[in-house]
Each structure stands twice: as C-alpha cells, then as structure tokens.
Amino acid sequence: MKWSRVLIRTMKENPKEAETKSHRLLLRGGFITQHQSGVYTFLPPGWKIMQKIQNIIRSEMNSIGAQELLMPSLTSGEVWKQSGRWETFGNDMFKFKDRKGKDVALAPTHEEVISLLARDYLHSYRDLPQIWYQLQTKFRDEPRPRGGILRVREFIMKDSYSFDRDWDSLDKSYQLHKDAYSRIFERCGLEFKIVEASSGIMGGGHSEEFMVFTKTGEDSVVICEKCGYAANAEVAEANIIENGSKENFSEKKIVHTPNARSVEDVAHFLDVEPSHIVKSLLYVSEKGQTAMVLIRGDYEINEAKLLSKLGTDFQLASPDFIKERFGIEPGFIGPDGLAADKIIADESVRQVERFVAGSNKDDYHIVGLKLSDIRIDEFADLRLVREGDLCSRCNAPLKILNAIEVGHIFKLGTKYSDSLDVKYADYDGTLKPIIMGSYGIGVGRIMAAAIELFNDEKGIIWPFAIAPYEVNLIEINPAKTSNFSDNVYELMTKSGFDTIWDERNISAGIKFKDAELIGIPINIIISENKAARGEAEIQIRKDASKYDIKVENLVQAINTIIEEKRL
C-alpha cells in the first residue's frame, strides 16, 4: 500500500481526554477514535492490528481442536432469567424491550447461550469433549469506562467453552487452554504472568488470570518474588504478622472514649497498639440481614473475600442504618452483645488474647475483652493483603503490582449445566450434567497492553507479529527515486512482508516522526545517494540501529535482524 492512499491520520498534539499511554498513542497514531464514552471505532490501521491478534488467537485455538462458531449478541432475556444472571448482572447488562414488549439483552458474555446450544446438540458421552469458541463483540454497561480501550462498554472478546464428561477431563480442557493462551500472548509479544483469581459473577470453581504488569493496569496483583506465588489482590493470602507486644489489660472494663471512633483515634486515646483493637464493621443485605465483621485493628477488610462468604447482596451499612437499627454511632459498635444476625471474624482475631472493642454505647469502648466473652459464628480469611505482608507459602515479603487482565480461564463445573439443564447420557445410560469451562481473552486489551509495555517518547514500538505494517519504505525524495522504490516495494511484498510505502511528497522529518509514532518495526530508507549505489538503509524502531544494505541482500538482512533482535 502507498501511504498516501491509506487512512492514517496522526496527531502531533495529545488529545486532552487521554491519560494513559496506550490511550494517547492509539489516538495520536490514528488507530482508534471515540464514538461515545467507552465505545470506539477501530480505524483501518487499528483494525489491522486487531485482525492480526485475532488470527494468532484463531490459529492457537484451532491447534487445540477448538471449533469456531458465532453466537448472537442480541439475546433473549429469558435465558438470563433461567440462569439467574438477569439479576446478578444487574445494570452491567444492556437490557431493553423489543417492540412486542419482550425482554432482550446485549450479551455481556455467552455461557447461557452456549449452554443451550450444548443442550440441543450434545447428548451422549460419545459427543464429548468439545471446545467451541467465537470472536464476538460483548456489551457491558460499565459504571465507569476508563483508560481508553482498557475498560470499555463494547469490546471484542475471544470466548471459548469446554464441555466434558467429568472433572478429570475438564482439567485437560483447562490445561489445553492454559497452554494455548500462553502461546497466544507470547506470539503477540507480551510479557505476562498467570495468577490465582476470583471467579466472581461467572461462578464455579478455580480460575486463573493472565496478567500484564503495567503502571496503568486496573487490577492489583500480589506477588512473591521468592517462591513465585502470584494472585489477584481480591483472593491473595498472606500470613498474619504477630503483634509483637503483649496486651496489658488484666480485666474487662468499660472506658470513656469520647469522640474516639476510628481505630486510630482509639489507639491514640487509650495509648494501645492498633493490633490490640478489634475493628467491628456492620454489613447489611438487601433483605435487611445484618452481619458483624471483625478484624484486627491493623488490618483492612478485603471486600471481595468477605462478599464471597456473605453473598454479594451485602454491603457496608450506612451510619444512619446503624443508628436506626441499634441506636449507636458506628464508631462504637462492637461484638459484645450486639444483636447482629451473624458475626464473622478474620483469622487475625484469633491471635489476640485480650483486646479493645466498641461497647455498643456511644463514647465508650471495652478494654480487656476476651474471645470467650463474645459470640463468633465463623472464622475466615477476610484480610486485604498489603505490600510487605509475608507470603503464606514461604514467608518472604510480598509485593503488589498493577496489571492489565488480558485473559481469564475458569473451571465452571456444573453451574450452568445445572441451572439450564444440560445433560448427557453416560456409558450406563444415566443422565449426568456436562462439566463446563469458560475461557476469555480481551483482544483490544492485548493491543493496549502491548503499547503500555512497548513505547518510548517518540511513540509505539509494536512487536513484529501485531504491527500495523511490518516494513515501511521511507522515500526521502520521491521525485528522484520512485523507480528504485518501486522495485524495493515489489521485492518486499513478494517476500511476504506486510509493507507500506511512504511516497508522500513532504519533508522527510514528518515521515520519520510518523513512522516512529505508529511504531512500524522495520523502516527502509531510500535516498538518492544510496539508491545510486544500489543500497537502502534499514532502520530498526526498537533500538534505532541502522544498516546500509545492497538491495539484493535486503530480504536476508531483514530476516536476520528479525531473528537476532527478536522483533
């Protein structure tokens, strides 16, 4: 393609709405343009990248025997009601009524639709296992789209689903995906890590995420550099750090603590360590069930962990609710005799012998309370892991890093087979639920993650495999070298390189700047002098290295460079 014929519209200045690197560079490079909040058009160069990524995904999915299909985005509300996710997705799902008044939804994911397909087409153990996948637009009405293409309301996802006879067979399908995903992200040039994850609203059992570590990632990942433990902060575990000093409360007594509400206030007022205080939080469900949550004063609650215990319809009670229900200011509630429906405590609470807690009377706390004095219905790991907490496997200090989630794999089990009645007949003729897995990849996120990972002050440095063009012919003076350039262009194209030819009649500086901004890995500079000697200059975007090469040796030289520099 000649540059002047391609819709490449670069911008010298930063659009003001863009904060993150990938967002800025995608806009400046003319790869995307915004249509509304969280909804983008992929312009031709951007869509080329998306297609290259999708082709890599296809080839790796096909290699594990997965079959591509395409399901509808416009789905009937009925199937979501059957699985129960009409409610659990809530406003995150785009829902509306058709002209007949029937509920419909734009699919945010496709477990329901594919489960119904499986129910119609898979009847016998002979039909299993199966892996089906699609590359399809998903719709999610995110409360706050952000980071350009990182969190959007309409996006292309590769989603696949496995159907197996039993759990061992699911393990195999899961492992096939895990390996295929690793190859996909490697081929796209990404650096990534597989981490333990929360399965959240997808339901089911074990799940892992493929994370790309970048400053702008919106997920937090806890990692141990010593033993390699890595987990999403939502599920990460850590050892409880002993609270060094010994409590010196000899007996239980009520003390006046006017206006001391927070752990910090109370610790300061009574001159005790925060780890000698037990923090009491009240959660309330939509139905009005109350749960008191206890945790050692120097820790914070991890709400993802807590809600997986309590149920997602619980939320932190408002001060007004607490006043109304119990007649106490939130700062003074405590486990001693409060009529909460349930009392759940973090494991760290076991660790204190005598402690300070709210007294359930305004402006008073209890000191010297013992565990045996109070009712605790359940102990659980509810702690939010902090940087520097100790690894639960090897006791080394943990780190917390931001990351972009580019893939997520789940062992669903029978959640959808049960709710949607997806069964097969086994050897002995008995009907059993099909065991399912579900596996997603965010195509646009791969594109954004690659930019976050590989850029400099001049622009993007695309990995060769997903670059919008592999080779760019920069003609310094088109009027004088067009025949020569034509030959080089032919040569590159015939040799299989995805080549663009910048024959624009503008100053060379602009061509260099554009090439650097949009990140083409290999540039071939054609100048009058060198052309006269039968040479062209190769410039590599990644390290700015330059080589003068005879045209007849060009292809070989480029192949060698790609190999050696691992473009």
The residues that touch RNA, with contacts defined as CB under 7 A, are: 10-17, 19-20, 23, 34, 36-38, 92, 108-109, 138, 140, 142-148, 151, 155, 157, 159, 198-202, 218, 303-304, 307, 312, 405, 408, 440, 442, 458, 476-477, 479, 505-510, 512-514, 516-517, 525, 527, 529-530, 537, 539, 546
Q: How far apart are CA 236 and CA 500, in angstroms?
A: 47
* Start-end of H helices in 367-507: 415-420, 443-453, 478-494
Instruction: Count other Cβ atoms within 10 Å, centred on residue 357.
Output: 27
* C-beta of 199 vs 485, nearer to RNA: 199
**Following DSSP, what letter does each residue of 268-329 receive, concatenated?**
HHHT--GGGBEEEEEEEETT--EEEEEEETT--B-HHHHHHHH-TTEEEPPHHHHHHHHSS-
The encoded tokens of residue 268 equal: 């300061």
Q: How far apart are CA 58 and CA 52, in angstroms?
A: 10
CB of 251 to RNA, least distance (A): 38
* C-beta of 221 vs 260, nearer to RNA: 221
* C-beta of 307 vs 376, nearer to RNA: 307
Q: How far apart are CA 24 and CA 259, in angstroms?
A: 48
Q: What is the largest CA-CA distance in the chain?
A: 97
* Start-end of H helices in 99-221: 111-121, 167-187
| CA-based torsion, 78, 162, 192, 466: positive or negative | negative
* C-beta of 261 vs 504, nearer to RNA: 504
CB of 259 to RNA, least distance (A): 23
* C-beta of 421 vs 528, nearer to RNA: 528
The encoded tokens of residue 103 equal: 């509920």
CB of 541 to RNA, least distance (A): 10
Distances (CA, A) of 350 to 60, 156, 228, 262: 49, 47, 28, 21
CB of 531 to RNA, least distance (A): 9
CB of 521 to RNA, least distance (A): 14
* C-beta of 313 vs 353, nearer to RNA: 313
* C-beta of 215 vs 268, nearer to RNA: 215
Annotate 104-121 with b (16+ C-beta within 10 A) or e (fewer): bbbbbbbbbbbbbbbbee
CB of 257 to RNA, least distance (A): 28
Whether the CB-CB separation of 214 and 452 falls below 8 Å is answered with yes
* C-beta of 367 vs 409, nearer to RNA: 409
Residues 6+ apart with CB under 8 A from 532: none
Chain center to CA of 530: 48
| CA-based torsion, 130, 133, 138, 143: positive or negative | positive
CB of 219 to RNA, least distance (A): 7
The encoded tokens of residue 279 equal: 């923090």
CB of 196 to RNA, least distance (A): 13
* C-beta of 369 vs 409, nearer to RNA: 409
CB of 10 to RNA, least distance (A): 6
Q: How far apart are CA 491 and CA 557, in angstroms?
A: 13
CB of 483 to RNA, least distance (A): 16
* C-beta of 10 vs 493, nearer to RNA: 10
CB of 367 to RNA, least distance (A): 31
* C-beta of 147 vs 274, nearer to RNA: 147
Whether the CB-CB separation of 212 and 402 falls below 8 Å is answered with no
Q: Which residues sit opposite 523 in a β-bridge?
A: 472, 539
